[in-house]
Amino acid sequence: MRNQLCSVLCLAVLPAAAMASSHREAPMIAGMPRVDASDFYMFKSYEQGRGDYVTLIANYLPLQDAYGGPNYFKLDPAALYEIHIDNNGDSEEDLTFQFRFKNTYKGLAVPTGAAADVAVPLNNIGAIDKDGANLNVTETYTLSLIRGDRRTGMKSAIASDSGATTFDKPADNIGSKSIPDYASYAQQFIYNIAIPGCSEPGRVFVGQRHDGFVVNLGQVFDLVNLNPLGARNSGSNAIADKNVTSLALEVPASCLTANDDPVIGGWTTASLPQSRILNPTPTGPTASSAGKGPAVEGGAYTQVSRLGSPLVNEVVIGITDKDKFNASEPKNDVDNFGTYVLYPTLPVLVNALFGVPPPATPRNDLLAAFVTGITATVNGSAFKFTAPANLTVPGEMLRLNTAIAAEPIAQQKDLGFLACDLGGFPNGRRPVDDVVDIALTVAEGAITADNPNSLQTCDVSGATPTVVNEGAVVNDGALPDPASYLTVFPYLGTPLPGATTPST
């Protein structure tokens, strides 16, 4: 059975997941990388002394090559980037953190012998420091908190501890000659923030990071040259050389929860104005008194990207509904996409091709993992693992029980719940959680009542959670390296430089 399962998952399951955690997973968003949400993390902060906080990280603009000049990777000033929190179980946002960006083009010029100085084509004309004097384009953003409906609710500006409501975004890691110590440079853009209605301050950072997602792409497309039931470190991470742009928030857990229920749901979205008119004769990068930009955008904001739990749009939603999923809201998921979860197609394809019986349907285990949250028994008594006590409307989102203490990174297990680490995915998601291996193992029945393929899972029915079938993990051979992540906010590693300084 295990040999059959190995062959099947190589051919049928892994290619469907191979485009990583929402890295251009739907037809329309594939052509809109600046508003493509690639990963969403939500976890109890494990930086020393921050155990009462929750960290939220929404990654956008995936698959960045560090050398991608001269424009590098700027977010869309026409877009709304949002992180939503549901804290009363109705699959609607109760809190929304909204980011809006502005790119300022300076038009730095140098004397060339012409009558007037001539504008340079480069992103910077010298070494870059915090004040950005040598940057030709600077990026800033504002951050707001909306209570209630994200479009009609009460909106309040979030300010830094100095009272400023506009924040600077660091330049991307152009190279070590432009920014010799990028880690120290980026550290200066972590801001303490006063969150309206919160008695304790939070923190925010927006900037380029090393992509923390791990997936073995190359081997999959080389005639499926891997063994998914072999060693979990038998392959390599094909996107290890990619950066991404992170919107990172750290918020007191008490400011996110409601009515003594410790469980929250979270997801991120990006929205754009409905209409765009292209200018055939642009005279500047943006519309201003000095010129007309390349496009005019207007109309109501329309959601074009959505991400809660990883891999849902890749391996669960049918290809004809992927754009619909990106435009939808969790409260409508059961009607729109319930069939995909309860009656998934991949196990059926596995059975048709190789005769490996799929787990019985309807897949209530997947419904719990993706849509309602999981309720488990720990230490002999019922304990909400990820299911809100007052759940009234199921919806796909990432869920976190904030009452479960964070594990220090040295004690974190990258298989999360499957390794009996209740602080890991699907109870939230930490950077180190190997969501590809977890999701594939669960898809083949690891958390069903009978676990037909005898895959690794966690038995929480006794006095102590116990790992069952240790090592029987469906995997892609790419293993997260805890050393590649920070142990402090914003947790994702320093982005790779576009160039290193040559030796002289």
User: Band of the pLDDT at 290, cuts 50, 70, 90?
Assistant: low
Evaluate if residue 167 carries a pLDDT over 90. yes
Span between the terminal Cα atoms of the chain, in Å: 59
Question: Residue 328 pLDDT more than 80?
Answer: yes
Question: What percent of the chain has pLDDT above 70?
Answer: 89
pLDDT of residue 138: 95
Query: How does residue 221 score in pLDDT terms, banded at 50, 70 and 90?
Result: very low
Residue 210 near residue 246 (C-beta atoms within 8 A) = no
Can you read off the two tokens belonging to residue 153?
Answer: 């609710």
The set of residues, in sequence order, having a beta carbon less than 8 Å from that of 395 and lying 6+ positions away, is: 86, 91, 265, 329, 330, 331, 332, 333, 334, 371
Q: What would the mean pLDDT of 308-319 be, rounded to a whole number?
A: 89
- Binned at pLDDT 50, 70 and 90, residue 504 comes out as low
Is residue 6 pLDDT above 50, yes or no?
no
How much is the pLDDT for 12?
A: 35
Better pLDDT: 160 or 287: 160
pLDDT at 2: 44
What was the pLDDT predicted at 387?
84
pLDDT at 382: 55
Which amino acid is residue 59, in one-letter code?
N
Give me the mean pLDDT over the 454-458 stretch: 94
pLDDT (average), residues 413-436: 95
For residue 250, the model assigns a pLDDT of: 98
> What is the token pair recorded at 166?
């506009």
> What average pLDDT does range 24-50 have in this prediction?
93
| Cα torsion angle, 209, 213, 214, 220, sign | negative
Residue 3: predicted pLDDT: 44
Mean local confidence (pLDDT), 115-121? 93
The band of 95, judged by pLDDT with boundaries at 50, 70 and 90, is: very high
Phi–psi pair at 361, nearest 5 degrees: -105, 160
Check residue 453 and give its pLDDT.
Answer: 87
Average pLDDT, integer, range 415-429: 95
Which range is least confidently modeled, 58-67, 122-131, 142-151, 313-322? Answer: 313-322
pLDDT range class, residue 476, cuts 50, 70, 90:
confident
pLDDT given for residue 19 in this prediction: 42
> At residue 17, does pLDDT exceed 50?
no
pLDDT at 254: 97
pLDDT for 278 beyond 80: yes
Model confidence at 289, pLDDT cuts 50, 70, 90, reads low
| 9-13, 339-343, 384-388: range with lowest mean pLDDT | 9-13
Other beta carbons within 10 Å of 2: 11
- 295's CB contacts (< 8 A; 6+ apart) are 276, 277, 278, 279
Per-residue pLDDT at 324 exceeds 90 = yes
Q: 463 vs 483, which has greater pLDDT? A: 483
Please tell me the predicted confidence (pLDDT) of residue 200: 95
Query: Beta partners for 103?
Result: 139
Q: Which residues have C-beta within 8 Å of that of residue 22, sequence separation ≥ 6?
A: 36, 37, 38, 39, 62, 307, 310, 311, 313, 314
Is the pLDDT reported for residue 354 higher than 70? no
pLDDT for the residue numbered 261: 92
Q: How far apart are CA 87 and CA 377, in angstroms?
A: 22
pLDDT level of residue 8 (50, 70, 90 thresholds): very low
Confidence label for 56 from pLDDT (cuts 50, 70 and 90): very high
Burial (CB count <10 Å: 0-12, 13-18, 19+), residue 469: middle
In this prediction, residues 433-451 reach a mean pLDDT of 91
Query: Residue 194: what residue type?
Result: A
Listed in sequence order, the residues at least 6 apart from 289 whose beta carbon sits closer than 8 Å to its beta carbon are: none
Least confident range from 144-153, 342-351, 380-389, 473-482: namely 380-389
Query: At residue 145, what are phi and psi to the nearest 5 degrees?
Result: -110, 125
Tell me what percent of the residues of the chain surpass a pLDDT of 90: 71
pLDDT at position 225? 58
d(CA 437, CA 448): 16
